[in-house]
């Protein structure tokens, strides 16, 4: 038997040296994972056996190599959900939670809303809407085979209709054209050539990240598809990078057919998502 508290302190130093952003948090999450207990229960544990100590050591070594924490535990928390994640799927980020909040507010007073998540990845957005707005019919569109497999897995027991296909293709969900109340999307939006953290560069799938030279290649197609899907008055929200708070609203205004175009910050005050209402006609 050794002592988890001391191991967590040593791991915190190790992760700090590896430039991990939240070393203490990550060390505690991994210790709790090995012990099979909630993180807040860690102080109540005074010892662990050799195999648990070894498993923790190995996981910390992986984390120090900048493998994402969520790939090591297999789970990413998002709003009220724990989503299964791993190689081949984008790890959902907390900044996307606020886009979901905005979307849910738009559904107030709509009796049986139809909602589409374009570029669904693990299903974080679609599954959250389905969970928090049970009257909604929710579709989730994803093109990449590996991500689609994770999406199917997360949607197994959820009332979400998973669609494999290109979110920018007018043929995908064409039967819903003009009938959708809300389209939400977190597409790939990083300009090619940008420098990103090792967790992102080496473990998030390239199709989830890169959006061409200006980052907006997929987003433009998603906006056009959202316009086709929405009923007049239907709402659209799309996440973007913190330097795209002007260019994304500008591209929506330039495309035409949108009203009430606005941009919104995330909880850290950075420009994060644009919204618009489909104009009539």
Ligand X SMILES: C[S@@+](CC[C@H](N)C(=O)[O-])C[C@H]1O[C@@H](n2cnc3c(N)ncnc32)[C@H](O)[C@@H]1O
Q: List interacting residues with ligand X (CB under 6 A).
A: 90, 92, 96, 119-122, 124-125, 141-144, 147, 166-168, 186-188, 205, 207-208, 218
Which two tokens mark 205? 């799938």
CB of 148 to ligand X, least distance (A): 8
| Cα–Cα distances in angstroms (integers) from residue 184 to residues 118, 216, 227, 271, 281, in the given order | 6, 16, 12, 17, 21
Rounded Cα distance between 130 and 141, Å, is 14
CB of 5 or CB of 205, closer to ligand X:
205
Considering the complex, what minimum distance in angstroms separates the CB of residue 86 from ligand X? 13
Q: Least distance (Å) from ligand X to the CB of residue 81?
A: 11
88 vs 265, beta carbon nearer ligand X: 88
62's CB contacts (< 8 A; 6+ apart) are 72
What the block records as the tokens of 228 is: 């086709």
CB-based closest residue to ligand X: 121
Q: Which is nearer to ligand X, 15 or 151 (CB)?
A: 151
The smaller minimum CB distance to ligand X, of residues 51 and 268, is found at 268
Contacts (Cβ under 8 Å, ≥6 apart) of 195 = none
4 or 187: CB nearest ligand X: 187
Q: Report the nearest approach of ligand X to the CB of residue 186 (Å).
A: 4
Q: How far is the CB of 172 from ligand X (least distance, A)?
A: 8
Residue whose pair of structure tokens reads 């420098």 in the numeric block:
195
Q: Pick the closer one to ligand X by CB: 16 or 214.
A: 214
Give the helix/strand (H/E) hosting 61.
helix 50-64
CA 174 to chain centre: 25
At closest approach, how far in Å is the CB of 194 from ligand X?
14
CA distance 45 to 153: 33
Short-list 139, 125, 132, 133, CA closest to 92: 125
188: CB partners within 8 A, 6+ apart? 119, 207, 208, 209, 210, 211, 218
């Amino acid at each position: 038997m050794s002592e988890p508290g001391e191991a967590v302190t040593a791991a915190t130093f190790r992760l700090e040296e590896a430039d991990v952003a939240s070393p203490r948090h990550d060390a505690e999450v991994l210790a709790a994972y090995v012990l099979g207990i909630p993180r807040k229960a860690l102080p109540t544990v005074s010892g662990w056996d050799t195999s648990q100590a070894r498993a923790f050591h190995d996981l910390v070594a992986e984390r120090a190599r900048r493998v994402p924490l969520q790939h090591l535990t297999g789970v990413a928390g998002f709003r009220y959900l724990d989503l299964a994640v791993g190689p081949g799927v984008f790890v959902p980020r907390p900044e996307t939670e606020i886009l979901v909040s905005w979307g849910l507010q738009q559904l107030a007073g709509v009796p049986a809303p139809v909602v589409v998540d374009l570029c669904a990845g693990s299903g974080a957005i679609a599954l959250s809407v389905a969970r928090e707005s049970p009257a909604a019919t929710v579709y989730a569109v994803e093109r990449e085979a590996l991500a689609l497999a994770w999406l199917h897995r997360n949607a197994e027991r959820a009332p979400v209709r998973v669609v494999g296909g290109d979110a920018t293709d007018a043929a995908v969900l064409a039967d819903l054209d003009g009938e959708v109340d809300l389209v939400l999307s977190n597409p790939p939006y990083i300009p090619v050539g940008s420098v990103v953290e090792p967790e992102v560069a080496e473990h998030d799938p390239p199709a989830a990240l890169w959006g061409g030279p200006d980052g907006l290649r997929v987003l433009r197609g998603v906006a056009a598809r959202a316009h086709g899907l929405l009923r007049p008055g239907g709402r659209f929200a799309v996440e973007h990078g913190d330097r795209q708070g002007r260019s994304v609203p500008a591209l929506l205004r330039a495309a035409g057919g949108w009203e009430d175009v606005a941009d919104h910050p995330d909880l850290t005050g950075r420009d994060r998502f644009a919204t618009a209402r489909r104009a009539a006609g």
